[in-house]
């Protein structure tokens, strides 16, 4: 009996694709408050928790969800005005933003272990680059909203990141703080790891398909053996 042969890929550590806001950088609540401000400027009063639960999804889908939840007519011009107002409001809060505990140490440990990693964010390059500076990794492999047609929960961001790392998406571990990261991870056939550091509840992340949940990057770093990374130097 003959047939295709499959080579077992044993002992290959996974590659890591990280979300940025709420996963490596402590910026989710500032983004939430900035979106709330931006919407108020257009006379829309969407309760803040609903904005929080939409953070991390693509801006386009965010605005569509917004239109559905508020009954507001959102054309391209309004959408651009909201996005611009959000960037401005976020700028005012930027001084309060820091890396999450363990974020730098985690990326350094992966480097030392020879594990490939990238960052994939639904945010724009304009917002993402200063965050890389904060993390001390200005040259990290980065995929932003500007480079894909559809952002999370579509899998495009993670698929492009995997391709840049020259690793099949199915061998990637996707680390994110939001339901949208985990849904997109499943669509990319990657393993999704949830972090509580974006303010979602554990249960919400589990239900979205998280393989494992940690508090923050520091907690993930001390449990890397649970997801296939051994002997971190």
Q: How far is the CB of 84 from a second copy (least distance, A)?
A: 18
Q: 140, exposed or middle or buried, with CB in 10 Å at 0-12, 13-18, 19+?
A: middle
In 94-200, where does DSSP find H-type helix? 103-112, 125-135, 156-164, 179-187
Enumerate residues 6+ apart whose C-beta is below 8 A from 222: none
What is the footprint of a second copy within residues 201-220 (CB under 8 A)? 201-204, 216
Site string for a second copy, 48-87 (x = CB under 8 A): xx--x-----------------------------------
What is the rounded CA–CA span in Å between residue 62 and residue 119?
21
What is the rounded CA–CA span in Å between residue 31 and residue 92?
11
* CB closer to a second copy out of 99 and 153: 99
* CB closer to a second copy out of 18 and 158: 18
What is the rounded CA–CA span in Å between residue 93 and residue 77?
25
Report phi then psi at 44, rounded to 5: -105, 125
Q: How far is the CB of 39 from a second copy (least distance, A)?
A: 10
Q: How far is the CB of 226 from a second copy (least distance, A)?
A: 22
- The reply on whether position 154 binds a second copy by CB under 8 A is no
Catalytic residue, chosen from 19, 26, 156, 181, is: 19
Catalytic residue, chosen from 21, 156, 177, 216, is: 21
Residue 101 is inside which H or E element, if any?
none
The verdict on whether 21 is a catalytic residue reads yes
Out of 93, 105, 113, 140, the residue judged to bind a second copy by CB under 8 A = 93
- The reply on whether position 32 binds a second copy by CB under 8 A is yes
- The reply on whether position 98 binds a second copy by CB under 8 A is yes
DSSP E strands in the chain: the ranges are 15-18, 117-120, 142-143, 172-176, 191-195, 212-214
Out of 67, 113, 196, 227, the residue judged to bind a second copy by CB under 8 A = 196
The verdict on whether 19 is a catalytic residue reads yes
- Helices 156-164 and 179-187 pack at an angle, to 10 degrees, of 60
Out of 60, 101, 130, 228, the residue judged to bind a second copy by CB under 8 A = 101
* CB closer to a second copy out of 34 and 184: 34
What is the rounded CA–CA span in Å between residue 176 and residue 23?
5
Q: Which residues are identified as catalytic?
A: 19, 21
Name the residues that contact a second copy, by CB under 8 A: 22, 26, 28-30, 32-33, 36-37, 40, 45, 47-49, 52, 93, 96, 98, 100-101, 196-204, 216
């Amino acid at each position: 009996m003959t047939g295709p042969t499959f080579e077992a890929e044993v002992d290959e550590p996974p590659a890591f694709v990280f979300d940025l806001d709420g996963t490596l950088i402590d910026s989710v609540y500032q983004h939430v408050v900035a979106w709330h401000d931006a919407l108020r400027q257009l006379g829309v009063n969407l309760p803040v928790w609903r904005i929080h639960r939409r953070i991390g999804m693509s801006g386009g889908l965010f605005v569509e969800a917004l239109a559905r939840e508020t009954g507001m007519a959102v054309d391209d011009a309004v959408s651009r005005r909201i996005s611009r107002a959000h960037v401005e409001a976020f700028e005012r809060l930027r001084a309060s933003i820091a890396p999450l505990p363990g974020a730098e140490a985690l990326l350094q440990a992966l480097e030392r272990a020879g594990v490939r990693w990238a960052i994939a964010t639904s945010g724009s390059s304009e917002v993402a680059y200063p965050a890389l500076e904060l993390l001390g990794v200005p040259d990290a492999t980065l995929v932003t909203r500007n480079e894909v047609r559809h952002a999370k929960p579509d899998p495009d961001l993670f698929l492009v990141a995997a391709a840049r790392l020259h690793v099949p998406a199915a061998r990637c571990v996707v680390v994110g703080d939001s339901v949208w990261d985990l849904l997109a991870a499943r669509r990319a056939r990657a393993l999704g790891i949830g972090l509580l550091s974006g303010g979602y509840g554990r249960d919400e992340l589990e239900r979205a398909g998280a393989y494992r949940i940690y508090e923050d990057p520091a907690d993930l770093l001390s449990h890397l053996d649970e997801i296939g990374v051994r002997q971190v130097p």
